[in-house]
């Protein structure tokens, strides 16, 4: 589905939500994260009913950065549960390390998801980074390339700087 007049597609992540559920009294009600326990379908088979009142997990992280109320950056990435870490890596590169858009997107990523630190080692072999992470007590595992960030930065003169992740297909042009 494409947003009319805007030209960008919406994905299907929100299909994880059930729009309606039965409350504890057999009444069909909107399924909203209001707390309490309600039955609702969240899976197939024997697990088709679960405790309601929860929000399905989603890692979608479309990100807009404003300065003085004006847009300065927009970025996003696919990547499942790694999306949040991928986005944080690129934002840190842009804001903390003041990289240009393409350098920030190209840089290697380290992601932690309630387990060992995941290092894009097959793509970026950085033994010094691995050694430092392990010295600081992190278990480190290798992962393949993570994400595919697409970013747009707007400079003070209103010029656009685009960046497309080389980890997957994409192309960015600046204006």
**pLDDT score recorded for residue 129:** 84
Which phi and psi angles does 130 have, rounded to 5°? Answer: -60, -45
| In the chain, domain spans | 1-56, 63-164
Q: What is the pTM of this model?
A: 0.69
Give the DSSP H or E segment for 87. helix 83-95
For residues 38 and 14, the answer to whether their CB atoms sit within 8 Å is: no
From residue 135, give the alpha-carbon distance in Å to each of 108, 111, 127: 19, 17, 12
**pLDDT score recorded for residue 49:** 53
Tens digit of each residue's pLDDT (9 = 90 or more) over 2-46: 778 887 776 655 555 555 666 667 777 665 555 455 454 455 555
**pLDDT score recorded for residue 15:** 53
CA distance 2 to 9: 4
For residues 57 and 14, the answer to whether their CB atoms sit within 8 Å is: no
CA 171 to chain centre: 20
Q: Percentage of the chain surpassing pLDDT 90?
A: 43
Question: Is pLDDT above 90 for 66?
Answer: yes
Q: Percentage of the chain surpassing pLDDT 70?
A: 71
For the domain spanning 63-164, the CATH number is 3.60.20.40
């Amino acid at each position: 589905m494409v947003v009319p007049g805007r030209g960008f597609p919406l994905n299907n992540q929100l299909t994880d939500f059930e729009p309606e559920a039965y409350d504890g009294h057999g009444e069909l009600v909107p399924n909203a994260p209001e707390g309490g326990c309600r039955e609702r379908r969240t899976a197939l088979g024997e697990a088709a009913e679960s405790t309601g009142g929860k929000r399905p997990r989603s890692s979608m992280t479309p990100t807009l950065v404003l300065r003085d109320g004006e847009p300065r950056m927009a970025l996003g990435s696919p990547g499942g549960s790694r999306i949040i870490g991928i986005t944080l890596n690129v934002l840190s590169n842009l804001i903390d390390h003041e990289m240009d858009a393409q350098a920030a997107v190209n840089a290697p990523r380290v992601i932690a998801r309630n387990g060992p630190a995941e290092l894009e080692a097959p793509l970026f072999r950085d033994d010094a980074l691995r050694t430092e992470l392990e010295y600081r007590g992190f278990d480190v595992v290798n992962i393949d390339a993570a994400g595919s960030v697409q970013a747009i930065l707007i400079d003070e003169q209103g010029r656009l700087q685009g960046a497309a992740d080389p980890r997957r297909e994409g192309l960015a042009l600046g204006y």
